[in-house]
């Protein structure tokens, strides 16, 4: 084993900011690594990669990535990304943010972005709670889970993210856990090959704020839980993707379809408005 | 990249060869999660006894030499700290590898360029204020409008929706006002002059992201066609009650630029001016119209294109990669890079240093806040515009802005006819407040009268600056405009 100073990923990291702020065992570093590897493999011009995030632990990912990165307000990464993409369509615009940011405070935006089939790729890291603020209940917290604001167990049903995204019109929907980093990488590459609204959910451990309150004493236990409870099934009905506190986690590619994208429509509109006699 | 996990048929022996990997570690990055140890398919790693700088036990190779790394790269992929990776060892390097797959990445369609764009409609028009503002924006080169319909600003959106495609721009009707302003900021970083238009309730929803525009120094235009409030208030009727919200609506210390037109012509002219100020000072700019000015239809003269002065961003001078994106010039305004130019921008709403990196150091906050405020404060004289009417010998100064200034002008003339030496000081720039000018006036006149359609907002600023003169106030809660007679009566009353 050789001791070195730099990782091959450092070229795409703001290495002067490493170590990152995330806890030991947090899955965000794994997602960050998978993202960088996907960009490397895709051979797209890194200059044209823009990453937008909202607020939260996941919202800090762009700050470590050495691309054009935008850390916006809570919940507003998607509309910011839409403006960015429209203003400069040659950019590959990614939104990487958390489940609370994208589906609670930012819920309205993500559904409409999928409906419009805006040409962006969204990676949602789902850790089932608001980690940065200390572990409060969120829109994806499973029923009966304990969080700091559900001390008696969560009474609310959780969002099934692949299902809501598929029904909102996303052309690509997949879900993986952080124990499947190769799948995350492949999925990002697949999403990049679709010029429309693509969505990847990554289930990730939050040992400090969520796991330890829900019978997983550390991140390793959460990862082992994924190891034993994850089922891979491509083309599954996203309706079956509900996640319970102790049940199976259905992963795989749920949706992969082609539809006219928003930028296609914008182009057609501009052409229509400038036809003679328009 | 450590993913050469390839097994290749050896041509001579017809046996499969397993590649072997050498492991590399950056010990001090390890946070001891043990994922690499637990999930290595060959179990080649164990926890070491040594401590790294953070107090964790980084992994080490285990002693059993039959367990060898196969260079699958999983440890690198599962490591959340970018701390470990493998590379093919010397003997495995000549094992042929499965060629890397090609990934055809599609490009999004571009918006066609319009060769003869009808962006400046030179000539005379009969437009209402909302339409004139929309035309001003297009003449200023605005290419992105994100909006949500709200009375009495809808005509801005409707007109833009028709005109934007004609000039190769985009109108997007977002799902709400928060999305609208967020999209406007995104578009600005993508290099498009961008704007939105709204009214009271929508303006309230936008406040947080106006703050984001302030701290990230994002040039953009927000038009607020003011109506009566609070809350839903008087959707179809006039008020000027958002002027303090314009100043202090978003949280935290900041300066803002806000202008108030009093005619459709000014709606056109000042919209262009707003974009110029936004790009000159890298800041969001507010055009504080009111319902009457927005819905009033008058003659608007659009000059020739060559007569329209436009300000563009200051481009970064240094090479991409070497420029600190928030390092300001002497004017305290940093040049602005756009996404896709190779500057590796990091834009954040967190307090940040000159590199754009977040910081929790009080000195950084001190430096950042002072600079983003001072870049407006030191240029106040250049930014501020006002109109003086019959002020030379005035004994009472009536302060007004927007639609109210037109009534006041009439009242001042009527007062003069009655022998009262009245004059008007019209604020065109509401923020920064022209305090220097008001202080000067206060040395000459004893009485100020502030007329506005609210229960006392800009009057507070006048009171702050007009000492030792007396400051009087004539308000209206909204829904209608003062009559010249009402203003005249007040002028007469306070000059007795």
Helix (H), strand (E), coil (C) string for A139-158: CCCCCCCCECCECCCCCCCC
Tell me the average pLDDT across B22-36: 97
Closest by Cβ to A13, choosing from B82, B179, B180: B82
| Residue A71 phi, psi dihedral angles, 5° rounding | -105, 100
B11 falls in which pLDDT band (50, 70, 90)? low
Residue pLDDT, tens place only, B170-209: 999 999 999 999 999 999 999 999 999 999 999 999 999 9
Whether B194 contacts chain A with CB within 8 A: yes
Tell me the average pLDDT across B114-128: 93
CB contact under 8 A, A269 and B180: no
pLDDT at site B2: 40
pLDDT at site B322: 86
CB contact under 8 A, A6 and B26: yes
Tell me the average pLDDT across A67-94: 98
Closest by Cβ to B183, choosing from A6, A83, A88: A83
Residue of B nearest to A5 (CA): B26
pLDDT for residue B443 is more than 50: yes
CB contact under 8 A, B80 and A87: no
B347 falls in which pLDDT band (50, 70, 90)? very high
pLDDT for residue B7 is more than 70: no
Inside any domain, residue A2 = no
Query: Using CA of residue B316, residue B320, residue B322, residue B326, what is the dihedral sign?
Result: positive
Residue pLDDT, tens place only, B230-262: 999 999 999 999 999 999 999 999 999 999 999
Distances B423 to B113, B393, B450, B482 between C-alpha atoms, Å? 50, 8, 12, 17
Query: Which of chain B's residues have a Cβ under 8 Å away from the Cβ of A73?
Result: 182, 208-209, 211-212, 349
Share of chain B above pLDDT 70, in %: 96
Q: Please, what is the average pLDDT of chain A?
A: 97
Inside any domain, residue A1 = no
Name the least confident of A146-155, B84-93, B228-237, B365-374: B84-93
Q: Which of A186, A192, A189, A174 is nearest to A232 (CA)?
A: A174
CB contact under 8 A, A112 and B79: no
Distances B379 to A35, A191, B336 between C-alpha atoms, Å? 44, 47, 19
Q: Please, what is the average pLDDT of chain B?
A: 95
Residue ranges of A 41-60 with Cβ closer than 8 A to chain B: 41-44, 47-48, 50, 52, 55
- Reduced to 3 states (helix: H, G, I; strand: E, B; else coil), residue A253 is strand
Whether A260 contacts chain B with CB within 8 A: no
| Residue A142 phi, psi dihedral angles, 5° rounding | -65, 155
CB contact under 8 A, B349 and A71: yes
Tell me the average pLDDT across B41-68: 92
Which structural domains are found in chain B, ordered by start?
Answer: 8-94 (3.30.70.20), 123-307 (3.40.50.970), 387-495 (3.40.50.920)
Query: Which of chain A's residues have a Cβ under 8 Å away from the Cβ of B338?
Result: 88
Q: How many residues belong to chain B? A: 496
Whether B46 contacts chain A with CB within 8 A: no
Inside any domain, residue A161 = yes
Contact status, residue B179 vs residue B204, Cβ threshold 8 Å:
no
pLDDT for residue B6 is more than 50: no
pLDDT at site B66: 76
Inside any domain, residue A102 = yes
Inside any domain, residue A184 = yes
CB contact under 8 A, A43 and B341: no
| Residue A79 phi, psi dihedral angles, 5° rounding | -60, -35
Domains in chain A, number: 1
CB contact under 8 A, B106 and A193: yes
State the complex-level ipTM.
0.97
Whether A88 contacts chain B with CB within 8 A: yes
- Residue B451 CB neighbours (<10 A): 28
DSSP symbol at A65: B
Q: Which range of residues forms the domain containing residue A118?
A: 8-273
Whether A189 contacts chain B with CB within 8 A: yes
pLDDT at site B115: 85
Tell me the average pLDDT across A175-190: 98
Query: Which of chain A's residues have a Cβ under 8 Å away from the Cβ of B101?
Result: 41
Rounded to 5 degrees, what angle do the CA atoms A178, A184, A188 make? 150
pLDDT for residue B1 is more than 80: no
pLDDT at site B9: 54
Inside any domain, residue A92 = yes
B16 falls in which pLDDT band (50, 70, 90)? low
Q: How far apart are CA B49 and CA B275, in angstroms?
A: 62
pLDDT for residue B10 is more than 60: no
pLDDT at site A23: 97
Q: How far apart are CA A34 and CA A184, in angstroms?
A: 6
Closest by Cβ to A9, choosing from B82, B185, B339: B82
Nearest CA distance, A142 vs chain B (angstrom): 25
Residue ranges of A 126-165 with Cβ closer than 8 A to chain B: none
Strand ranges inside B239-375, DSSP E: 257-259, 284-290, 297-302, 346-348
Inside any domain, residue A278 = no
Looking up residue A215, the CATH number of its domain turns out to be 3.40.50.970
Whether B5 contacts chain A with CB within 8 A: no
pLDDT for residue B14 is more than 70: no
pLDDT at site B472: 98
Query: What would the DSSP string read from start to end of B126-142?
Result: EEEHHHHHHHHHHHTTE
pLDDT for residue B4 is more than 50: no
Tell me the average pLDDT across B434-455: 97
Residue pLDDT, tens place only, A45-65: 999 999 999 999 999 999 999
Q: How far apart are CA B320 and CA A163, in angstroms?
A: 42
Query: Which of chain A's residues have a Cβ under 8 Å away from the Cβ of B82?
Result: 7, 9-10, 13, 18, 29, 32-33
Inside any domain, residue A3 = no
Residue of B nearest to A88 (CA): B190
pLDDT for residue B13 is more than 60: no
B102 falls in which pLDDT band (50, 70, 90)? confident
pLDDT for residue B158 is more than 60: yes
pLDDT at site A278: 62
What is the CA A126 to chain-centroid distance, rounded? 7
What is the CA B61 to chain-centroid distance, rounded? 52
Tell me the average pLDDT across B53-62: 95
Whether B106 contacts chain A with CB within 8 A: yes
Q: How far apart are CA B310 and CA B308, in angstroms?
A: 6
| Torsion angle, alpha carbons of A18, A24, A26, A29, to 10 | 30
């Amino acid at each position: 084993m050789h001791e070195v100073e730099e990782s091959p990923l450092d070229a795409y990291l703001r290495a002067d900011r490493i170590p990152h702020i995330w806890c030991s065992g947090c899955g965000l570093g794994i997602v960050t690594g998978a993202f960088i590897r996907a960009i490397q493999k895709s051979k797209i011009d890194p200059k044209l990669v823009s990453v937008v995030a909202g607020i939260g632990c996941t919202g800090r990912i762009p700050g470590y990535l050495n691309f054009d990165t935008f850390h916006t307000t809570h919940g507003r990464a998607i509309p910011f990304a839409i403006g960015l993409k429209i203003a400069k369509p040659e950019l590959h615009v990614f939104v990487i943010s958390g489940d609370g940011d994208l589906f609670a405070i930012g819920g309205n935006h993500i559904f409409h972005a999928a409906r419009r089939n805006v040409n962006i790729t969204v990676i949602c890291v789902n850790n089932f709670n608001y980690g940065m603020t200390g572990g409060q209940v969120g829109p994806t917290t499973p029923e009966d889970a304990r969080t700091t604001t559900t001390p008696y167990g969560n009474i609310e049903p959780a969002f099934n993210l692949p299902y809501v995204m598929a029904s909102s019109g996303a052309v690509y929907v997949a879900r993986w856990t952080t124990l499947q980093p190769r799948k995350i990488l492949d999925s990002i590459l697949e999403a990049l090959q679709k010029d429309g609204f693509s969505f990847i959910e990554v289930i990730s451990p939050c040992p400090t704020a969520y796991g330890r309150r829900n019978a997983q004493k550390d991140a390793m236990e959460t990862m082992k839980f994924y190891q034993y409870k994850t089922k891979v099934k491509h083309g599954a009905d996203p309706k079956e993707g509900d996640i319970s506190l102790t049940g199976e986690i259905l992963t795989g590619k749920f949706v992969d379809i082609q539809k006219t994208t928003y930028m296609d429509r914008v182009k057609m509109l501009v052409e229509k408005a400038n036809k003679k006699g328009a | 990249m450590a993913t050469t996990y390839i097994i290749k048929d050896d041509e001579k022996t017809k046996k499969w060869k397993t590649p072997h990997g050498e492991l590399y570690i950056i010990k001090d990055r390890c946070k001891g999660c043990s994922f690499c140890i637990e999930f290595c398919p060959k179990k080649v790693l164990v926890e070491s006894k040594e401590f790294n700088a953070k107090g964790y036990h980084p992994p080490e190779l285990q002693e059993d030499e039959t367990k060898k790394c196969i260079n699958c790269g999983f440890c690198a992929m599962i490591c959340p700290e970018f701390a470990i990776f493998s590379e093919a060892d010397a003997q495995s390097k000549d094992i042929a590898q499965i060629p890397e797959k090609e990934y055809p990445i599609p490009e999004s369609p571009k918006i066609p360029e319009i060769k003869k764009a009808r962006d400046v409609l030179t000539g005379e028009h009969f437009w209402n204020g909302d339409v004139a503002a929309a035309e001003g924006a297009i003449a200023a080169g605005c290419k992105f409008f994100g909006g949500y319909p709200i009375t009495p600003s809808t005509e801005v959106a409707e007109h833009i929706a028709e005109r934007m495609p004609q000039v190769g721009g985009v109108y997007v009707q977002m799902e709400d006002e928060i999305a609208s302003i967020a999209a406007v900021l995104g578009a600005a970083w993508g290099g498009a002059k961008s704007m939105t238009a709204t009214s009271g309730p929508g303006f309230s929803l936008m406040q947080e992201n106006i703050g984001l525009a302030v701290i990230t120094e994002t040039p953009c235009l927000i038009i607020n066609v003011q109506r009566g409030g609070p809350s839903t208030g008087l959707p179809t009727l006039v008020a000027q009650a958002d002027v303090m919200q314009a100043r202090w609506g978003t949280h935290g210390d900041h300066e803002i630029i806000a202008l108030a037109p009093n005619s459709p012509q000014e709606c056109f002219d000042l919209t262009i001016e707003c974009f110029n100020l936004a790009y000159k000072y890298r800041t969001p700019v507010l055009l504080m119209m009111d319902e009457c000015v927005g819905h009033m239809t008058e003659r608007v003269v659009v000059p020739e294109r060559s007569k329209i002065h436009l300000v563009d961003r200051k481009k970064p001078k240094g090479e991409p990669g070497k420029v600190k994106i928030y390092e300001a010039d002497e004017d305290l305004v940093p040049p602005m890079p756009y996404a896709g130019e190779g500057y590796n921008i990091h834009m954040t709403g967190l307090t940040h240093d000159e590199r754009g990196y977040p910081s929790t150091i009080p000195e950084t906050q001190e430096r950042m806040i002072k600079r983003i405020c001072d870049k407006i404060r030191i240029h106040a004289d250049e930014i501020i515009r006002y109109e003086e009417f019959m002020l030379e010998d005035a004994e009472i100064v009536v302060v007004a802005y927007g639609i109210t200034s037109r009534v006041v002008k009439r009242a001042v003339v009527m007062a003069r006819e009655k022998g009262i030496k009245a004059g008007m000081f019209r604020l065109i720039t509401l923020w920064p407040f022209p305090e220097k000018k008001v202080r000067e006036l206060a040395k000459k006149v004893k009485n100020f009268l502030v007329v506005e359609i609210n229960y006392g907002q800009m009057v507070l600023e006048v009171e702050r600056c007009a000492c030792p003169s007396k400051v009087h106030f004539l308000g209206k809660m909204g829904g209608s405009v003062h009559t010249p007679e009402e203003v005249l009566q007040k002028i007469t009353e306070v000059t007795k």
